[in-house]
Structure 1
Amino acid sequence: MDYISDISLNSRLKNSDHDAFVFIYNSLAKELYYFVKKYIKDEAICDDIIHDSFLNLWNARERIQTTHPIRHYIFRITRNLVYKEIKKQISASIMLKVDATEHEQIEGGECVERTILDKEYANIYNLAINTLPPQRKRIFRMSREEGLTYKEIAGNLEISTQTVKEHMSLAMKSIKDYIAKEHDILLKTILILVFFNRI
């Protein structure tokens, strides 16, 4: 598994080395599948997400930074696909409850309801993050948005790994409490599923 973080592997993939890509797939596909299966129960959809994750990794190979572990790239891609699938399923559920005649169309053919839902997810997420103290907010964003490990965050901020863990634990509790108090169960579920899973 250490080999997955090796600079030479990143360079090989960046240079379209098919053997490096196969090695990454064989090393991480099973773990990714179990990660996806926690949130998506349909096995066919899980398989599609895994397939699309590796396809997206291959298509983005020229943009890979040699110093950034491949594991971070592929898990971030997969997490985003899981997020989109959950949003799609929730949106579909909402649509079933709304009479078809009330569906207004906007540019690009998207439904107004889905566009509003997407904006609300982002808005609530940012509001929740902004309730955190500055250092805790920075650590949370470094972990969840930049994909850094606790060890990497500790090194960048010159603090202990244990301190990072404590900040993350407090941050997640604060944000979950905020969402639970201020917003409905649907939004609480999607945000907790997507943003608080440790990768």
Structure 2
Amino acid sequence: MSNQTLISTAEFERIYEKWNRKVYQYALSKTSSTYIAEETVQRVFIKLWNNIFQKKVHVEIEAQLFCIARTTLLDIVKEERKRQDLLHLKVETDQVPTPSELYRLKELNERYEDIVSRMPESRRKVFMMSRFENLTYKEIAERLSITPKTVENHIALALKVLKKMFVFIIHLFF
């Protein structure tokens, strides 16, 4: 099968049938989580389909599958870790906030939104894709047709500004 041409749906289904269990086993062996393994399989084959559809397939399917599987698995594990951290934080902070705490949080959120809105458009776009769409630097770079290093620089500059803002606000409020 030539990897330089688009493949048919039937061919893709054959690839899926041949490899989905191996991708699942790979993810399961790394995480011991059936949820993460299933999610990995779904995302890997969606990305593979998109790569084939966009004619980005330049290597053998097996090599591409496991390269995609590795990066996808890392992304999912990071997402899960963030989700678990947020759940843990919620459990610790299930107390009802006081009106003054609510006011401080509202003020902090308004300042945060104001600073993000003042960022140059490209930096704001990169920052939002990273933080709210949970995209990797590589995915952002591909979407915006820029280099991953440019994405990294935009994120670093955005975080630098936000860090200064938070340090200022912490001193102001506390």
In structure 2, the gaps of 5 or more residues are: 1-18, 45-71
Partner of 1:180: 167
For the 8 Å contact 1:72–1:147, the answer to whether it is kept is no
User: Does residue 71 of the first structure (1) align with residue 47 of the second (2)?
Assistant: no
Q: 1:12-32, CA deviations, whole angstroms, 9 ceiling, x for partnerless residues?
A: 7xxxxxx899656448xxxxx
What is the TM-score when the length of structure 1 is the normalising length? 0.46
Aligned to 2:109: 122
TM-superposed deviation, 1:121: 3.9
What pairs with 1:37-186 in structure 2 (closer than 5 Å)?
66-67=42-43, 69=72, 70-81=76-87, 83-84=89-90, 88=93, 111-181=98-168, 183-185=169-171
Aligned partners of 1:164, 1:140: CA distance in 2, in Å? 8
State the SS of the aligned residue for 1:184. helix
Q: Where do 5+ consecutive residues of structure 1 fail to align?
A: 1-6, 13-18, 28-53, 93-108, 189-199
Rounded to whole Å, the distance in 2 between the matches of 1:75 and 1:20 is 19
Structure 1 residues 21 and 152 mapped into 2: Cα distance closer, same or farther (>3 Å)? closer
* Contact 1:150 1:161 (8 Å CA) reproduced: yes
Distance 1:123 1:82, change over 3 A: farther
Identity between Structure 1 and Structure 2 (%) = 26
Shift in alpha-carbon separation, 1:141–1:169, aligned structure 2, 3 A: same
Larger radius of gyration: 2
Question: RCO greater where, 1 or 2, for CA within 8 Å and sep 6 or more?
Answer: 1
Counting matched residue pairs gives 125
Post-superposition CA distance 1:155-194 (Å, at most 9, x none): 111101111111111111122223334x124879xxxxxx
Shift of residue 124 of structure 1? 3.0
The verdict on how the C-alpha distance between 1:162 and 1:64 changes in structure 2, with shifts beyond 3 A counting, is closer
In angstroms, what is the RMSD of aligned CA positions? 4.3
TM-score (norm 2): 0.51
* Cα displacement string for residues 48-68 of structure 1 (whole angstroms, at most 9, x for unaligned residues): xxxxxx9xx79xxx9999328
1:130 is paired with a residue of what secondary structure? helix
Task: Give runs of aligned pairs for residues 3-14 of structure 1, distance below 5 A.
Answer: 8=20
